[in-house]
Structure 1
Amino acid sequence: MIPFSILDLSPIAEGSDVSTSLRNTLDLAQHGERWGYRRYWLAEHHGMPGIASAATSVVIAHVAGGTSTIRVGAGGIMLPNHSPLVIAEQFGTLEALFPGRIDLGLGRAPGSDQTTARALRRNLGSDADEFPQDVAELQDYMSDQPRQRVMAVPGQGAKVPLWILGSSLFGAQLAAHMGLPFAFASHFAPQMMMQAVALYRDNFRPSAQLEKPYVMLGYNVFAADSDEEAQLRATSMQQAFVNLRTGRPSRLPPPVANFRQQLGPAENAMLDSVLSCSAIGSPETVKSQLKAFIASTKPDELMITSQIHEHAARLRSYEILADIHKQL
């Protein structure tokens, strides 16, 4: 069976705070390690009231320090926000602290709005367009014999696997060209998934890091002991997504019964589209939906996210999924 991994946005739930969110993140990682998940990734977002992982490398250190075997990494670092040298130093440090356990996924989007991006002190003129050059520069800093005069210390010679993240054909093309593993954000932007995966696999060039293409797909799971409970739990993420898309980003709301029935046709159509790569239900329902998704997409790995308001219910969702993985 293909590996399952965890993508955590360190959600800040309504009625909670950042400290609790980060404690919950470590607790989920420790449970995920025991349950057999392969890796635990955190994402860089800025200016988002419901996400606590903005200082992504710091949170990675928090999680890696409290676990022992699970791989920990970024899914991802938004490279246009940063100097490649700084990222080489940060992840070189993480690799020195936790050898053989650190991943570095790289994204092209700023992970924020334009005003927040300006506050990050980066030139907004062409940074996204320079993403391939930034990836190559970062790769060189972390090589055994960099060509650049400036040295990344820590960083030089760090054996940190790089991944390209994407939600479009651009990331697929770049990952194929550079011979890097590709993670597609199908958990919130599934529209070009099949086309991007085919493009990546068809055009992949082997590299020193990777001999053959490797595809990870994002997937939402809301598992509970009954279909009804799972549908209720999923409404927290649905509310948060509607709030975000309508310009009202929020903390992760508590679940609301019959939430979808309260929405208009346009909002329901948006949720149907963006959350089409999701399994919601009891163990048997989730198992059936997962099997169908894996059969149709044939990924090498799934990266599972589960935005559930109550921490105990989120743990239960990942526990159910771990049991399903063993059955599959």
Structure 2
Amino acid sequence: MKRINKNNLGVKKFSVLDLVPVAEGSSHLQSIAKSLELAQHVERLGYGRFWISEHHNMDTLVSSATPILIGHIAQGTQNIRVGSGGVMLPNHAPLIVAEQFGTLETLYSGRIDLGLGRAPGTDQLTAKALRRDRAETVHDFPRDIGELQTYFSAENKNAAVRAIPGEGLDIPLYLLGSSTFSAQLAGIKGLPYAFASHFAPTHLHEALQLYHQNFQPSKQCEAPYTIACVNVIAADTDEKAKHLETSLQQLALGIIRNTRKPLAPPVKSMDGLWHDLEKAQIQKMMYYSFVGSKETVQNELESFVEATRVDEIMVVSHIFDHEDRLRSYEILSEIFRELEH
């Protein structure tokens, strides 16, 4: 992994998580095209990596075939690292994942990341359709990670079952989580750890603490490495950013009501669209959302990094208008560049 010097915030890298959202009025093909355009845009702006998350059976997202989209993004970019944020490992046989990402690494050498999660990335009925008759236990995820590492190892060359391509390739693994389980596991296995604070903020600090307490050096990581994913909506003024945020709020409202729809255009006010209890629930869920002008977002990000001491900030931005989303990442890149000096 390329070593990057820390800036004044103590952050080594800034990156992007894309769920490949479908905006109201856009087709699936248009949504995928916008994802590629965003990846090319942030690559020019100097972001370190671009990850795509696995989700299934959702009208709002088209990231179900995650490895295919990773290949599409990698083919359309030059240098930025591309990977999964993540592949939901219980949905797949480790051998299949090793072969898929071995193929990606063969095609795009030195640019592929494999982030792994243990959640289904969907509802329970769809998870059952994905996993068929397999019932996950608490022991499966650690065992599957070990199996995956075996397939990637050069030492597996004499085994009866091998990942070709994949065997002997340097594909960094990252563990993802929204609770403390994966934090402890990542520490014990000596792997980088990414926390989903963009939608599950509750256990962030506890998980980071447990990760550091349990960390054991490994071949991949001599020292702990942490990533925090946050929501960022930046605009030229606080007022415009708050207006754009209403698309994210409507999306979150659909999640808690289980009435998910494509990303809606912003509205003048959420008053009348949500109840007080729903508003409080969404504000809690989206606690780590940094919304505003360049100055506002910069101040909030500085406070966040000072409190968490994470090594990397990964940003997700649910913004309806594609040009506004591109502009948000431009403003954010200006913040990053200034913090590096």
**Aligned partner of 1:200 among 198, 211, 228:** 211
User: Is the CA contact 1:260–1:268 (under 8 Å) kept in the aligned structure 2?
Assistant: no
Q: Distance in 2 between matches of 1:65 and 1:39?
A: 14
Letter in structure 1 aligned against 2:45? W
2:32 is the counterpart of 1:22 = yes
Letter in structure 2 aligned against 1:196? A
- Specify whether residues 260 and 163 from structure 1 end up closer, same or farther in structure 2 by C-alpha distance, changes over 3 A only: farther
Q: What's the CA shift string for 1:217-237, capped at 9, x where partnerless?
A: 011100011111101111111
**Aligned partner of 2:181 among 170, 195, 200:** 170
Counterpart of 2:154 in 1: which secondary structure?
coil
- Specify whether residues 169 and 158 from structure 1 end up closer, same or farther in structure 2 by C-alpha distance, changes over 3 A only: same
Of residues 279-288 and 87-96 in structure 1, the stretch that sits farther from structure 2 once superposed is: 279-288
Matched ranges for 1:1-328 at <5 A: 1=7, 2=11, 3-126=13-136, 129-146=139-156, 148-259=159-270, 262-328=273-339
- Specify whether residues 84 and 223 from structure 1 end up closer, same or farther in structure 2 by C-alpha distance, changes over 3 A only: same
- Specify whether residues 128 and 81 from structure 1 end up closer, same or farther in structure 2 by C-alpha distance, changes over 3 A only: farther
- Specify whether residues 272 and 250 from structure 1 end up closer, same or farther in structure 2 by C-alpha distance, changes over 3 A only: same
After TM superposition, give the deviation of residue 262 of structure 1 in Å. 4.0
Alignment root-mean-square deviation, CA: 1.2
Letter in structure 2 aligned against 1:317? S
Taking structure 1 as the reference length, the TM-score comes to: 0.98
After TM superposition, give the deviation of residue 247 of structure 1 in Å. 1.2
After TM superposition, give the deviation of residue 120 of structure 1 in Å. 1.5
After TM superposition, give the deviation of residue 201 of structure 1 in Å. 0.6
Counterpart of 1:145 in 2: which secondary structure?
helix
Q: What's the CA shift string for 1:6-53, capped at 9, x where partnerless?
A: 000011001111100110011000010010100000000000111111
Q: Distance in 1 between matches of 2:139 and 2:286?
A: 28
User: Is the CA contact 1:140–1:148 (under 8 Å) kept in the aligned structure 2?
Assistant: no
Q: Distance in 1 between matches of 2:124 and 2:283?
A: 27
After TM superposition, give the deviation of residue 128 of structure 1 in Å. 5.8
Point out where structure 2 has 5 or more consecutive residues left out of the alignment. Answer: 1-6
After TM superposition, give the deviation of residue 121 of structure 1 in Å. 3.9
Q: What's the CA shift string for 1:268-315, capped at 9, x where partnerless?
A: 111121111111001111111111111111110000000111111100
Aligned length: 328
After TM superposition, give the deviation of residue 129 of structure 1 in Å. 4.2
After TM superposition, give the deviation of residue 119 of structure 1 in Å. 2.0
Q: Distance in 1 between matches of 2:133 and 2:242?
A: 43
Counterpart of 1:23 in 2: which secondary structure?
helix
Of residues 251-260 and 199-208 in structure 1, the stretch that sits farther from structure 2 once superposed is: 251-260
- Specify whether residues 141 and 286 from structure 1 end up closer, same or farther in structure 2 by C-alpha distance, changes over 3 A only: same
Q: Distance in 1 between matches of 2:203 and 2:133?
A: 29
Point out where structure 1 has 5 or more consecutive residues left out of the alignment. Answer: none
Letter in structure 1 aligned against 2:216? R
User: Is the CA contact 1:80–1:128 (under 8 Å) kept in the aligned structure 2?
Assistant: no
Taking structure 2 as the reference length, the TM-score comes to: 0.94
Q: What's the CA shift string for 1:126-150, capped at 9, x where partnerless?
A: 2564111001101110111127420
Counterpart of 1:251 in 2: which secondary structure?
coil
- Specify whether residues 128 and 90 from structure 1 end up closer, same or farther in structure 2 by C-alpha distance, changes over 3 A only: farther
